[in-house]
Amino acid sequence: MEHSNLLRVKSLIFKAKIVQPWPSDIVGEVLITCSKISFLGDVDAKTGELVGADLDIKGLNLTGKILIFPEGRGSTVGSNVLYGLARNGLAPKLIGTCKTESITISGAIFGGIPMVSSIDEAVFEEIKNGDVLKAHIKGDYALLEKTEKSNYLRKSQST
SS (H, E, C) the chain: CCCCCCCCCCCCEEEEEEEECCCCCEEEEEEECCCCECCCCCECCCCCEECCCCCCCCCCECCCCEEEECCECCCCCHHHHHHHHHHCCCCCCEEEECCCCHHHHHHHHHHCCCEEECCCCCHHHHCCCCCEEEEEEECCEEEEEEECHHHHHHHHHHC
What average pLDDT does range 44-70 have in this prediction? 97
Contacts of 1 (CB under 8 A, 6+ apart): none
pTM, entire model: 0.88
Task: Give the pLDDT confidence score for residue 5 in this predicted structure.
Answer: 44
Q: Point out which residues pair with 80 in neighbouring strands.
A: none
Other beta carbons within 10 angstroms of residue 54's beta carbon come to: 8
What average pLDDT does range 53-73 have in this prediction? 97
Task: Give the pLDDT confidence score for residue 3 in this predicted structure.
Answer: 45
By CB atoms closer than 10 A (0-12, 13-18, 19+), residue 78 is buried
42: pLDDT confidence band, cut at 50, 70 and 90?
Answer: very high
Domains of the chain by range and CATH?
A: 13-158 (3.50.30.10)
**What positions carry a catalytic annotation?**
75
pLDDT value at 6 more than 50: no
